[in-house]
Structure 1
Amino acid sequence: MGTWKSRGLRGSLLEEEINHTIALYEEKNLALIQKIPTPITPIKLDQSHKQITLAYFDKKSTVDYMGIVQGIPICFDAKECHKDSFPLQNLHAHQMDFMKRFMLQGGISFIILSFSKRGEKYYVPYRELEHFYRRMEEGGKKSFRYDELREAFLVEAKRDLLVHFLEALNQDISVLNELSKKD
């Protein structure tokens, strides 16, 4: 079990933007997606007893979000990096395992990755994450670079949808359909 202190707030702006977007998706009957809370045991509270200042993780979390989009089950994690490369140590083996098992059950797994310095967000499908992860396990790079991602999976804001990832998801579904035709 790990200990949580201030690091738990990393990526909170990205998560706020995603939460806003998924609330609008639900309002428009496009999707039903829930934020999955990380199970923690509080150890220390601030003086007002309203905020947790120290806690232990009860168990390893899976992903940040799960839901369904027009009949398709999805799960994804929100990640943020401040440079042009994403360290794979920020994507844990148990998360990769969960996303793989989710895919084997007919769902779609991915991460939404924010390159905060660039102000850009990308939809990164599980199969690409798996490629980068396998490369690392075989002794290769322990990260992947911004320029290794597909431009087609750039996630842009559209009106009040701050992280409008449904277009990238639709693109991913098209790729998955093409791959299944080849099998």
Structure 2
Amino acid sequence: MSWKSRGVRGSALEDLIVFTNDYYLKRNLARIDKVPIPIKIIEQGKDGMINKAFYEKKSTVDFIGFVQGSTVVFDAKETNLPSLPFKNIHAHQIEYMKDVTFHGGIAFIIAHFKINDSYHVIPYEVLKKYYDEADKGGRKSIPLSELNPDFEIKYNYNGILNYLKVLNTYVKYKEEDKL
């Protein structure tokens, strides 16, 4: 698999989130783990390298965990565009987020817009609104210009992408029915 392949497009963002999650875990702020990709190995070389494999089933989201007693699930997405295209977000991921939200969990996307090097939490409720509009023939992406500035994640000097602060804002918006 080449570095340009579909499966590793968000790996820099994912690495940053894993680093941040390790920081949170060491400080007992949250427990959030990277979800492994469900693959079936067909052929493995003597050096441990996988020569042949296939996806056993569709994955759910990139990260699952717990924050202050709440279940949290999210996916990491990166784009070079001034919007996040829905071709980068799979229907089964949105369905999974819907189920988590229905059962009282918190579901969202962390999106990195490379065009201005900004990071944003896109709540499930916002994602669903745009997804439903696209399904009815509307816009096929979520524009950066329309994202709530309260959900922008500030990148810390110590290499931490402190998204927990934004999650607190997201929860307040949900409680106040502002989404």
Q: What's the TM-score, normalizing by structure 2?
A: 0.91
Matches within 5 A, 1:1-183: 6-43=5-42, 49-52=47-50, 55-179=53-177
- Note the residue ranges of structure 1 that are not aligned, 5 or more in a row: none
- Offset of 1:117 from its aligned partner? 2.8
- One-letter amino acid of the structure 2 residue matched with residue 17 of structure 1: L
Q: Is the 8 A contact 1:24 1:161 kept in 2?
A: no
The structure 1 segments of at least 4 consecutive aligned residues displaced by more than 6 Å after TM superposition are none
In the TM superposition, residue 161 of structure 1 has moved relative to its aligned partner by 4.7
Unaligned runs of 5+ in 2: none
Q: 1:162: how far off?
A: 2.4
Q: Cα distance, 1:50 vs. partner?
A: 3.8
- The range that moved more, 115-124 or 53-62, is 53-62
Asked if structure 2 preserves the Cα contact closer than 8 Å seen for 1:40 and 1:58, the reply is yes
Q: Give the aligned residue type for 1:81.
A: T
- 3-state DSSP of counterpart to 1:24: helix
* Native 8 Å contact 1:32 1:69 kept in 2: yes
Residue 42 of structure 1: how far off its partner (Å): 3.3
Distance 1:96 1:39 in 2: 18
| 1:133 counterpart SS class | helix
Identity rate, percent: 39
Q: Does the aligned pair in 2 maintain the 1:40–1:56 contact within 8 Å?
A: yes
CA distance in 2, matches of 1:77, 1:134: 19
What is the aligned-residue RMSD (CA, Å)? 1.8
Provide Cα deviations, 1:134-178, integer angstroms capped at 9, x if missing partner: 000111011121101111111112242521101110000000110
Cα distance in 1, alignment partners of residues 115 and 177 from structure 2: 34
Name the SS for the 2:176 alignment partner.
helix
One-letter amino acid matched to 1:34: D
Structure 2: distance between partners of 1:25 and 1:39: 26
